[in-house]
């Protein structure tokens, strides 16, 4: 049984969402004997830190010690999480984001797997109540990944929106790599470092929280470009994971390749018309590859199922563009040297 826990929330210009997150944390159905919430303000330009400090008395009444740490300069979420974790007093440290809203049973479910001494980390799950197309598609994508994770006794990913670690293990590994300049794939890198060191990660899909996904498809696709970009940097460190991991569908890799070939065939067809036939054949293959995704979601969201071939092609193309964009950085001597950030 876990007797003490520290919940770390990095926050930057989060005045509009942080109160919702704190309210949800203070409404948990189970709180260990010793519990603290650490808000790490990453030099916000608004009154995020002041808002957090105004909840200290309320937190104390709910059984939490709430602390607010102010970063001397904006250093990114990885550095903010590390500061909170290295100042934490709990035997387990849990991370969530300022725009997340944990359900009342979230904390209890995040802690349950630690009753098994072989477990070093636990990953929770997203829910969404957003009506926008981009958010619905993002949630459907997460649920596709969750179906893969449920099939494994142990997994090799734990993402920072809902991530718990034995504090001693987290510190032993040195925490998140703060060289990542954006909140993208730094948790993937830590996950694979954790597994490489012989530790075990469990996925508990009952540890649920609401999250605000990108509402528009344009914002979603920009995020996917960034995902492809920074994933290649992580693959440089862990090349075996480019072949297979517990989170990435193999079909997605095929779709990225097909999107490349379709675009290339269309370009060539402008000069050599015979390639229109090639492009058409590849498009049919791509369409067939989207059927499993569409069939799973059709009852719950018929419109999303109908649009899924176009949306999945957009996803594959955005990830592929991010991969191409990352090549100079991934092949450089120091991939973390200052460079233009992926958008």
Residue-wise pLDDT tens digits, 127-142: 999 999 999 999 999 9
Q: For 297, list phi and psi in degrees, rounded to 5.
A: -100, -5
pLDDT, residue 181, reads: 80
Res. 10: pLDDT tops 70: yes
**% of the chain surpassing 70 pLDDT:** 98
Answer whether 27's CB lies under 8 Å from 104's CB.
Answer: yes
pLDDT, residue 341, reads: 47
Res. 340: pLDDT tops 80: no
- Mean pLDDT to the nearest integer, 288-304: 96
Full-model pTM: 0.92
Res. 247: pLDDT tops 70: yes
Query: Other CB atoms closer than 10 Å to residue 100's CB: what's the count?
Result: 22
Sort 215 into a burial class: Cβ within 10 Å, 0-12 / 13-18 / 19+. middle
CATH superfamily of 4-215: Spore Coat Polysaccharide Biosynthesis Protein SpsA; Chain A (3.90.550.10)
Cα dihedral 8, 183, 208, 55 in deg (nearest 10): 40
First to last CA, the chain: 43
* Distance of alpha carbon 300 from alpha carbon 234, whole angstroms: 35
Pairing of strands 100-102, 200-211: antiparallel
Q: For 71, list phi and psi in degrees, rounded to 5.
A: -70, 135
pLDDT, residue 286, reads: 98
Q: Which candidate, 35, 26, 28, places its Cα nearest to that of 5?
A: 35
Give me the residue spans of the domains in the chain.
Answer: 4-215, 217-343
Res. 342: pLDDT tops 70: no
Could you identify the residue written with the tokens 């470009």? 225
Res. 270: pLDDT tops 80: yes
Q: Alpha carbon 339 to chain centroid distance? A: 23
Answer whether 21's CB lies under 8 Å from 99's CB.
Answer: yes
* Distance of alpha carbon 36 from alpha carbon 333, whole angstroms: 41
Is residue 197 classed as helix, strand or coil in its secondary structure? coil
∠ CA(273), CA(275), CA(277), 5° rounding? 100
pLDDT, residue 339, reads: 59
pLDDT digits (tens, 9 = 90+) for 107-120: 999 999 999 999 99
């Amino acid at each position: 049984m876990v007797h003490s826990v520290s919940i770390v929330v990095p926050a930057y210009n989060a005045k509009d969402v942080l109160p919702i997150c704190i309210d949800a944390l203070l409404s948990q159905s189970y709180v260990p004997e010793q519990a603290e919430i650490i808000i790490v303000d990453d030099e916000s330009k608004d009154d995020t830190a002041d808002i957090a400090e105004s909840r200290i008395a309320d937190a104390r009444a709910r059984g939490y010690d709430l602390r607010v740490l102010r970063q001397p300069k904006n250093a990114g979420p990885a550095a903010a999480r590390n500061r909170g974790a290295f100042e934490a007093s709990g035997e387990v440290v849990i991370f969530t984001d300022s725009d997340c809203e944990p359900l009342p049973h979230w904390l209890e479910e995040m802690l349950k797997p630690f009753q098994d001494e072989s477990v070093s980390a636990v990953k929770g799950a997203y829910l969404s109540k957003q009506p926008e197309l981009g958010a619905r598609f993002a949630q459907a994508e997460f649920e596709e990944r969750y179906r893969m994770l449920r099939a494994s006794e142990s997994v090799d990913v734990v993402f920072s929106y809902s991530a718990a670690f034995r504090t001693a293990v987290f510190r032993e590994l040195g925490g998140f790599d703060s060289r990542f300049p954006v909140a993208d794939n730094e948790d993937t890198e830590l996950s694979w470092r954790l597994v490489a060191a012989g530790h075990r990660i469990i996925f508990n899909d009952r540890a649920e929280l609401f999250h605000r996904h990108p509402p528009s498809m344009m914002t979603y696709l920009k995020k996917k470009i960034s995902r492809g970009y920074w994933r290649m940097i992580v693959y440089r460190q862990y090349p075996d994971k480019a072949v297979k991991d517990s989170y990435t569908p193999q079909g997605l890799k095929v779709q990225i390749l097909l999107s490349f070939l379709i675009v290339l065939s269309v370009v060539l067809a402008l000069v050599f018309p015979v390639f229109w036939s090639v492009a058409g054949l590849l498009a049919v293959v791509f369409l067939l590859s989207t059927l499993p995704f569409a069939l799973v979601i059709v009852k719950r969201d018929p419109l999303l199922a109908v649009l899924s071939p176009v949306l999945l092609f957009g996803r594959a193309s955005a990830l592929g563009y991010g991969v191409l964009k990352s090549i100079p950085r991934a092949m450089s001597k120091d991939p973390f040297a200052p460079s233009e950030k992926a958008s």
